[in-house]
Structure 1
């Protein structure tokens, strides 16, 4: 009996987190978000799908290619993703190594132009809008540098929690 109660609380907590993340982007308060916000919502929940995984997830929850996603379709699909730990975050040490590779001069930070170049020209390129959002969120407001060692804990989740 205790396991069912524990599982029930876990699902309830997961649903609350998902709903809160979704509602942050439900600008018209009608249980609907623009499909372009789904990646940000998923990332905010500590999940890091590939672009293909993200595209597949959107195809699963978007109705009739409308460009919008309803909470009642998103919530169960996202709960399943979270409970199965389907898109786990990258380990802190690997993320630090990746930043250190980009920081060729070992300055301890990246300049916005550097990060922009890497993120738009390598791998799965980010759009200008995604880069603007990222730089606004990550750059130090005083220096405009991205101090990656300070950010790693924000970009990863401690697996022991």
Structure 2
């Protein structure tokens, strides 16, 4: 199963290009079937035909990249929004005083509470790496950035 990290549009373009075997800028019925199978799906011929009919908005019998993007964009956007909201919940749990920033003591307390107590050195290194603007606290964008590196 393919997971999208970083720039999902760029990754979708790479996947599309990989399965566009004749490099004509569109996926045929066969190429689309191969792409779906690479994602771990096993569609029947009827399901492929129904999908092709739905996604092929210009009616030429093939799926262009823009048609594929239009079809999967709502799913990708929903996943991104869910992930961001989950990340925000984690951030809030670390931000004990609710001021919008995670301080070193809050980080140390949260790590210990999760069963991962950190040494002063480890805490200093974590703060140095995550506190991108050097203001002594971790904002949500900084937290999201470091979590993206850790999780992917």
- TM-score in terms of structure 2 length: 0.37
Higher RCO, Cα 8 Å, sep 6+:
1
- TM-score in terms of structure 1 length: 0.35
Asked which structure has the greater CA Rg, the reply is: 2
